[in-house]
Each structure stands twice: as structure tokens, then as C-alpha cells.
Chain A
Amino acid sequence: MTELLRAEHLTRHFKIGGVTSRRSLHAVDDVSFSIGEREIVALAGESGSGKSTIARVLARVYKPTSGEVYFEGKPLSAIRSRRDGLRYSSLVPMVFQDPFASINPVFRVQHGILRILKLHRPELPAKQRQQEAARVFGVVGLGTDMLQRFPYELSGGQRQRVGFAQALAMRPKLILADEPVSMLDVSIRIGLLNLMVKLRDEEGVSVLYITHDIASARYVADRLIVMYAGQIAESGPIEDVLTTPKHPYTQLLLSAVPDPQAPLSQVVDRGEPPKVVDPVPGCRFRWRCPLAIDTCAQVTPVLAELRAGHEVACHVAQTGADVRAFAS
């Protein structure tokens, strides 16, 4: 698979407290991963684990504190001109979580799409812009009559499809989808997930699917990255990670997923994710981990490949031990 985007040692800290404060919140700490062409990568983790910060760094909303992102081999820090910036944001657009807040309510739905086309594809004459808007609406499963509607006339699922249509109008290579279905009703979600699969298969678009819902990640994604407290705990081909999770946190996460068809797992964990303010070295999961050893309190574990493409940041798993912290 050709590599599309690569993040290397990506770090983003936020200064917190008053003007004189030196405390910093480590939202994302030394994170490296890559996204291939025509690939859906799911980024999972609990709230505050740094998922959205990664998306915003990739969308160039935040500059990384350190580390670099390479898109098609070129570093993002080399983007200086407005033209290069526009080009990048048309190749890597974002779809937002809240479809009720992300579309301008006072304009017809077509307004957003036509503006995008005017800005990012200025070579198209007006008539072709209309045709292109109709085409992308067709791809995401909306009728052309929807173009003339106002956002309030659309349901949540339809609005989120408009979000994907807007992204698609830019002829993207990679869509950053930040919790695109979490605000939608259960019966509508599957349709959007199916749409992401269709975009990958038919339009050749990669998707970074940010979610806290592992089951929906499994439904669409090729690869899974599990984050904990700003770092990657485990990553790999999704079936591999889900059938043989190696990191205790992944195991905990999987044991907590409600599944009506499986018996209730007996795992109970009342721990809480740490606040990553000026962290000390060591594994950030060690307070909740039943398997923690002395090394975990001293050395921050780094990702190491245990099987083909399956990487884990856990001292215990890296010794080759059979990690069974939480049975799912």
C-alpha cells in the first residue's frame, strides 16, 4: 500500500494556568503513525486521549509542538504560501462531529458546496460547478433537489451527508472525520458508515475515522490505532488488534463494549484516565493496570512491532508474555 500521510513523533502541548504558569498539558505526546492510500484508519480512545488534537494538527489548525507530518512525502511545515495551504486543505478536508453546527443555517445547502468549488477549483466555470455539486450529492446519496434546501429542512443524517459531500467536492485524498456519526440516531449511523466504505472503494479516498465506538470502527476500518492519555497504546490491522489485543488498555476497552449477543464480561474497572499535565516518565496506564511491573513506573514504553504491522507500547507485552489483563 502506498503511504499517503505519515506523522513522526508528533507532539502537541498546551500551556495551562495563568500567565506565569509553566504547566503544560500533553495532549499528544510522541505519536507516530501512517495512513495509506485507500485506507480507513480508525483512531479510538476515551475523551481526552488526544484523538481530536491529532485531527486538528493534521488539518493544520494547530501547529505541532514538535514532530512532523509528511503528506505525500512533503512536510507540512514547508507549507508557506496561501496557495499551498489551500491545496493541502482541499486534499485533506475535515468532517465535523456536530452536523447541526457545521453548516451555515442562513444559506441554502448548495451555498457551501459552490463556495468550496469556487475557492478550491477555480478552473471550473459556473455551470460545471453546479454539475459537480449535483455529482457529489449523488455520490453521498442525496437527491439534487436537496441542493436548494435550507439546513433546517434536513435531518441529522442528511446534514452529515452534506458534510461528506462538501469534503468530496474538493477531490480529497484523505478525509479527517472527527466522530462523524456519534451525534446521529442509531438507525441512521450505519448509512453514514456505509458511505465511508463507499468513498474508499469507489472514490479512492482514505479516511481517518476518529471515534470512541470500537464496534463501528471494526465495521468500517482497515486499521485501528488505540490512544491512551496522548500516546498510542496499540495499533495494527483491526481484526488482528480486536482478536488478539496485546495492550491491557485495549483489553479493558474491548471488555467494556456492550454486546447483547455476548455474555456480560465480569471486568470492573473504576479507574479514570490521568490528566496529562507535566507527566513523569513511565507508562500512563500503570495506575489502572493489574500487570504493571517496576519498569512501567520508570520507563515510558515505546511502540514495538510484535507481529506484522501490529505494534504495542507495553513493557509486559514486549517481553513476549501472554497479556491477559482484562478478559473480554
Chain B
Amino acid sequence: MSEPHEILEVSGLSVDYVLPQGEIRAVDDVSFTVDRGEFLGIVGESGCGKSTLLFAVAQLLAPPAQLAAGTVKFKGTNLVGLTDRQLSAIRWCDLSVVMQSAMNALNPVKSIGAQFKDALQAHGKPSKQEIATRSAEVMRMVGIDPVHLKSYPHQLSGGMRQRSMIAMAMLFTPDLVIMDEPTSALDVVAQRALMVQIKELQQTYGFAVIFVTHDMSLISHFSDRLMVMYAGQIDELGATRTIFDRPLHPYTQGLLEAFPSIHGPRVPLRGIPGNPPDLAAIPAGCRFHPRCPHAVERCAVIAPDLYPVDGDLVRCLRRQDGSLPDDPGARVAKAGA
């Protein structure tokens, strides 16, 4: 289990995209904490702000995106407002990021080993011997033969590229690793192997993970807590198992019901009607109300807060006052398992 103290504390974080036609708020007042050694999953559809949120946490936002409000406290230091020099001391050593597409994130004209060397030399003056030892070590950690340090990215398969990205993130055994859909380009077998690998590493070295994905079922067995995002806001935040067994927000329920299962009876699924909102024209009131099967009049008027319900946080007016009927669909899906 995770230790009680927090390693990351994000509060009131908002990110705007400043465009000629106006400002678009992609992340709106997001607050959460990550404990030491915890695995936090962030799920949501495209355009819900999950990647923007990660970039904001890692202080990697580039124009037109800009931080509008909020603080990111990492091990007690507020990262917001730090200079580049101060940030680079923290980055890689204490906090590393694994990007979505290894093919784009690795330098195609440098061998894997040379890229490891760059990272190591940026944070100290290691000897040749130290570089070789540490590079081989991290490659073995992710299950790749160190001979591939001489390989160029194109010589490796997609799974190996992604694993060497993770190896690179492990060079300094950081306290927090941020991962942005690291498995989305892989097929299911490789995806599964990578998830098991990440979890093993995490348990061995005790770092915390923030894992962003659009595929809820992927992290169901791996994350400790789950954060569901919709239209730039947190919709639901709670223990992973609880959310899967008893989703409280209608959007979370809909997402869970949108996955067909390979077990149990073949039941017709509904998915979620409508489309994710355009962030330039966010619906008034609850942002999910136009697609919500349980929406009532006040949902279109009152913007809900995150309310504590049964130990979780849920952004739903009707869940807060207890007027939301228990969704029979979720029960069916569970009974089928």
C-alpha cells in the first residue's frame, strides 16, 4: 500500500489555449494529490484535457497553451513559476515523463545508448563506465538485452521502443513517472506485457505513476485510484476497484458500459449518445447534461461541484442529493461477469 504522505499536490489547476478567436479552457480547476508509490489512472475521451493536464503538471506547456491558475506542488516545491534551470534539476531526476508515441519521442538518428548518455550527462558528470553500467542496468530492468543500446529506434519493435522509453525514464530512479498513453500504439499482447512490466518496476522501486489513457479497462487491474475527466473537469475520483464495481457518475457508468466484454452473455450495449462537447462551446450547467440519461432541469442550470459521496468525489447534482436512481445497466454488466 502507498505511504501516507503526498508526493504531488495539484490544486486549482486551469489551463487556457489562447487562440485568435478567444481563449479556450482545456483544463478547468483540477485538484488532486498523488501519494508516494501510488498508481493514479486518469481516463477520459479525446479532448477532455487529460494530456493537457499532464503537460501542465510536468510544466511542459507550450503556447498557445498557458497556465491560467493553480499550483503544482511536487515534494513541497511549487513547480509553477520555477525557472527552466530550476526545473531541469528536478526533471528526469525526480520526475520523468513517458510520452505517447515512442517513435516521435526518441531521436531517430541517435542510438538508444547515446540518448541515455545525453540524459545522464545533463544531470552530472558520470564516467564512461558509470554510463555504461547504468544504461545496461535500466535496459535489463525493462527486459531488453543491453546489446540494443547500440540499436537505433527504427531497429526496434514498437513494444521495445516503448520499453526503452520507460528505461530512459528510470535512469535516475525518479519519485514520480508521468505516462501519457504509453501503450496505445501496441497490440493487446504487447500492451498487456508492458502494463505488467510497469507495475513490477513500480513495486520494486516504489515510484509513483500517473497514467493517462482512454481505455479504462486497461488499467482496471493496475491503478490504485482512478480519475475520470470530462470536458476539462474531474467527473469522478476514487479507488479504482470501487469505481469499476459501483460507478457513481452517469458518464463513468456510460464509459464502463461502452466496453463489450469477452466473457459473460452477449448483451446489447448503448454507449453514450451524442458527442463529447466542443471546449469552445461548453454546455451551461453540468457539462455532461446534454448526453446524460438522468439529466433533470436543474442539471442544465446549476454547474455541479465535486461532491464527496461514499468516499469518492463525484461531480453530479443528483448523486449528491441522492435522487439519482441506481443504474440498472451497470448491475447487468456486473452480474454477467
The answer to whether A and B belong to the same complex is yes
Which residues of chain A have a CB within 8 Å of any CB of chain B?
Answer: 46-47, 155-158, 185-191, 193-194, 212-216, 218-219, 239, 242, 252-262, 264, 267-270, 272
Bound-state Cα–Cα, A267 to B263, Å: 17
Bound-state Cα–Cα, A215 to B254, Å: 17
> In this complex, what residue of B is CB-closest to A288?
B189
Decide: A254 and B262 in contact? CB cutoff 8 A: yes
Bound-state Cα–Cα, A253 to B192, Å: 10
Bound-state Cα–Cα, A93 to B193, Å: 36
> Which single member of A212, A259, A269, A272 contacts B262 (CB below 8 Å)?
A259
Inside 8 A of B333's CB, which chain A residues have their CB? 261
> In this complex, what residue of A is CB-closest to B143?
A270
Additional A-B contact list (15), CB under 8 Å, known A191-B271, A219-B266: A186-B214, A186-B255, A186-B259, A187-B271, A189-B271, A190-B258, A190-B260, A194-B268, A212-B187, A214-B188, A254-B262, A256-B191, A257-B262, A260-B216, A272-B159
Decide: B46 and A215 in contact? CB cutoff 8 A: no
| Size range of the chain B interface in the assembly | 35 or more
Inside 8 A of B69's CB, which chain A residues have their CB? none
Question: Which residues between 161 and 197 of chain B lie within 8 Å of chain A, taking CB atoms?
Answer: 187-193, 196
Given that A187-B45, A190-B258 are contacting pairs, would A257 and B271 also be in contact in the complex, using a CB cutoff of 8 Å? Answer: no
Decide: B337 and A185 in contact? CB cutoff 8 A: no
Decide: A261 and B258 in contact? CB cutoff 8 A: no
Decide: A216 and B159 in contact? CB cutoff 8 A: no
Given that A186-B258, A272-B159 are contacting pairs, would A252 and B271 also be in contact in the complex, using a CB cutoff of 8 Å? Answer: no
Given that A188-B275, A215-B261, A270-B193 are contacting pairs, would A260 and B220 also be in contact in the complex, using a CB cutoff of 8 Å? Answer: yes
Would you give the shortest CB distance from A269 to chain B, in whole angstroms? 6
> In this complex, what residue of A is CB-closest to B221?
A264
Decide: B258 and A187 in contact? CB cutoff 8 A: yes
Determine the main DSSP class of A at the interface with B: helix
> Which single member of A46, A186, A254 contacts B45 (CB below 8 Å)?
A186
Would you give the shortest CB distance from A223 to chain B, in whole angstroms? 14
Decide: A215 and B271 in contact? CB cutoff 8 A: no
Would you give the shortest CB distance from B335 to chain A, in whole angstroms? 10
Decide: B216 and A261 in contact? CB cutoff 8 A: no
Q: Give me the 9 closest cross-chain CB pairs, A-B, nearest first.
A: A190-B271, A261-B337, A260-B220, A187-B272, A219-B260, A46-B187, A256-B192, A185-B45, A264-B221
Decide: B189 and A46 in contact? CB cutoff 8 A: yes
Given that A264-B221, A272-B157 are contacting pairs, would A258 and B192 also be in contact in the complex, using a CB cutoff of 8 Å? Answer: yes
Bound-state Cα–Cα, A210 to B263, Å: 21
Inside 8 A of B262's CB, which chain A residues have their CB? 214-215, 218, 242, 254, 257, 259
B244 at the interface (CB under 8 A from A): yes
> In this complex, what residue of A is CB-closest to B45?
A185
Which residues of chain B have a CB within 8 Å of any CB of chain A?
Answer: 45-46, 143, 157-160, 187-193, 196, 214-218, 220-221, 244, 254-256, 258-264, 266, 268-273, 275-276, 333-334, 336-337
How many contacts between A and B, using CB within 8 angstroms? Answer: 118
Inside 8 A of A157's CB, which chain B residues have their CB? 275
Inside 8 A of A47's CB, which chain B residues have their CB? 158, 187
Bound-state Cα–Cα, A262 to B157, Å: 30
> In this complex, what residue of A is CB-closest to B47?
A185
Inside 8 A of B260's CB, which chain A residues have their CB? 190, 193, 215-216, 218-219
Inside 8 A of A255's CB, which chain B residues have their CB? 192
Decide: B259 and A268 in contact? CB cutoff 8 A: no
Inside 8 A of A191's CB, which chain B residues have their CB? 271, 273
Given that A185-B46, A270-B143 are contacting pairs, would A261 and B193 also be in contact in the complex, using a CB cutoff of 8 Å? Answer: no
Decide: A218 and B45 in contact? CB cutoff 8 A: no
> Which single member of B193, B214, B268 contacts A185 (CB below 8 Å)?
B214
Decide: B159 and A187 in contact? CB cutoff 8 A: no
Decide: A261 and B214 in contact? CB cutoff 8 A: no
Q: What are 21 A-B pairs at a CB distance below 8 A?
A: A46-B187, A46-B188, A186-B214, A187-B258, A187-B271, A187-B272, A189-B271, A191-B271, A194-B269, A214-B262, A219-B266, A256-B189, A256-B193, A258-B221, A260-B216, A260-B217, A260-B220, A260-B244, A260-B256, A261-B333, A272-B190
Bound-state Cα–Cα, A254 to B272, Å: 26
> In this complex, what residue of B is CB-closest to A270?
B193
Decide: B269 and A268 in contact? CB cutoff 8 A: no
Bound-state Cα–Cα, A293 to B159, Å: 28
Bound-state Cα–Cα, A216 to B258, Å: 10
> In this complex, what residue of B is CB-closest to A261?
B337
Inside 8 A of A186's CB, which chain B residues have their CB? 45, 214-216, 255, 258-259
Bound-state Cα–Cα, A37 to B256, Å: 33
Decide: A219 and B269 in contact? CB cutoff 8 A: yes
Determine which residue in B45, B216, B263 has the highest number of CB atoms from chain A within 10 A of its CB, and name it: B263
Would you give the shortest CB distance from B154 to chain A, in whole angstroms? 13
> Which single member of B187, B193, B215, B216 contacts A268 (CB below 8 Å)?
B193
Decide: A259 and B193 in contact? CB cutoff 8 A: no
Bound-state Cα–Cα, A215 to B244, Å: 18
Decide: B261 and A261 in contact? CB cutoff 8 A: yes
Bound-state Cα–Cα, A264 to B192, Å: 10
Decide: A158 and B191 in contact? CB cutoff 8 A: no
Bound-state Cα–Cα, A148 to B61, Å: 38
Would you give the shortest CB distance from B212 to chain A, in whole angstroms? 14
> In this complex, what residue of A is CB-closest to B335?
A261
> Which single member of A155, A188, A269 contacts B193 (CB below 8 Å)?
A269
